[in-house]
Amino acid sequence: MSAVLDDMDSRPGSTTSLLRTVIGLYLRDAGGWMSTRHIIALMEALGVTAAVTRTALSRLKKKDIVLPRPCQGVPGFAITDGAAAMLARGDRRIYHPRLMSSGDRWCLVSFSIPETEREKRHQLRRRLHWIGCGTVAAGLWICPDSLREEVEEILEDLEVRGMATVFVTDAPLVGGSLRDAASAWWDLDAVAELHRDFIRHHGSAADGGSSVTSPAAGSDGTRPTMGASPEASAETFASYVRCIDRWRIIPYLDPGLPAEFLPEDWPGLEGIAVFQHIGTAYSKPSAEFVQATLEA
């Protein structure tokens, strides 16, 4: 399986997904290689045993995310070139969520793939969905124009560029309301639930409190100011990794539509605010914990 799709094929919270998140966050900063012993130690901080971690490493090896590579006689794993590119693209999504304005342009993808290549048609639809495209009709998809480069990469990778036409356009003209059209093209209820689930699980960390239920955000999605940053510890590291792991698929599936396309109770701004607050408070102490673990 292509490493490009691994972001969506590992269920958040699973051992494989957590390991993939640890690799994405810290293996690159460690020079692209980490000893097996240290990988196991970091996963143990997440409550995962050594045996289960080794099984997950084998799965990521089969997915072409990592490859075994000893360094000066020490067993370890390196990141593959394909995974490095995937993770770099993921960084842009995770840390810079899309937010369209009313004047931004749109990309339309029209394709007609023969029945003899129906597997490519299936893969194209699957991959367009996973980068946040909406379905206008079976062979016509829509997304923010900012995603056009990724659309082109998918078409080229599947060798169907000659069967597709890409249009760039202003806001679509619909027969009804833009909100009704958007709810038909995207599964906005599912995306909203992803945001609400993230807020339920991590809102208390952003507020510096102990409740799992976050208080209401302001109308602009902002939240109350946090207290002091947490100390470097296994608990801080685990909280941060689990936050990133739960969040990382949301910026792929959320197209970042303008306000006039969204329900009035859209939770996306609050979800982004929670994530950004946690990143500000937890990323540095978590990195310090990892560095201390690697030096042990």
What is the SS3 assignment for 165? strand
**Residue 85 has what pLDDT?**
87
User: pLDDT per residue over 211-235, tens digit each?
Assistant: 333 333 343 444 434 445 689 999 9
**Residue 210 has what pLDDT?**
35
Q: Would you say residue 179 has pLDDT above 90? A: yes
How high is the mean pLDDT of the chain?
Answer: 89
Q: What is the distance between the alpha carbons of residues 83 and 247, in angstroms, rounded to a whole number?
A: 19
Q: What is the DSSP letter of 218?
A: P
Q: Would you say residue 195 has pLDDT above 80? A: yes
What is the SS3 assignment for 241? helix
Strands 76-79, 134-137: parallel, antiparallel or unpaired by DSSP?
A: unpaired
Residue 291: strand pairing partners: none
Ordered alpha helix ranges (H), 109-225: 118-130, 148-157, 178-185, 188-207
User: pLDDT per residue over 65-83, tens digit each?
Assistant: 999 999 999 999 999 998 9
Residue 254 gets the label, from left (phi > 0), alpha (psi -120 to 50) or beta, of beta
Please compute Rg for the chain using Cα positions: 21
**Number of other residues whose CB lies within 10 A of the CB of residue 130:** 17
Handedness of CA 196, 202, 203, 209 (dihedral sign): positive
Q: Which of 184, 162, 165 is nearest to 175 (CA)?
A: 184
User: pLDDT per residue over 108-154, tens digit each?
Assistant: 999 999 999 999 999 999 999 999 999 999 999 999 999 999 999 99
**Residue 208 has what pLDDT?**
60
Count the helices and strands in the chain (H runs, E runs): 12, 7
What domains lie within the chain, and their CATH numbers? 3-95 (1.10.10.10), 106-170 (3.30.70.240), 187-295 (no CATH)
* Structure-derived torsion over alpha carbons of residues 183, 189, 194, 195, reported in degrees to the nearest 10: 70
User: pLDDT per residue over 250-266, tens digit each?
Assistant: 999 999 999 999 999 99
What percent of the chain shows pLDDT beyond 70? 89
Q: What is the distance between the alpha carbons of residues 219 and 158, in angstroms, rounded to a whole number?
A: 42
Token code pair at residue 168:
């760039």
**Residue 98 has what pLDDT?**
86
Q: What is the distance between the alpha carbons of residues 141 and 265, in angstroms, rounded to a whole number?
A: 25
Confidence of residue 9 (pLDDT cuts 50, 70, 90): low
**Residue 7 has what pLDDT?**
53
Polymer length in residues for the chain: 296
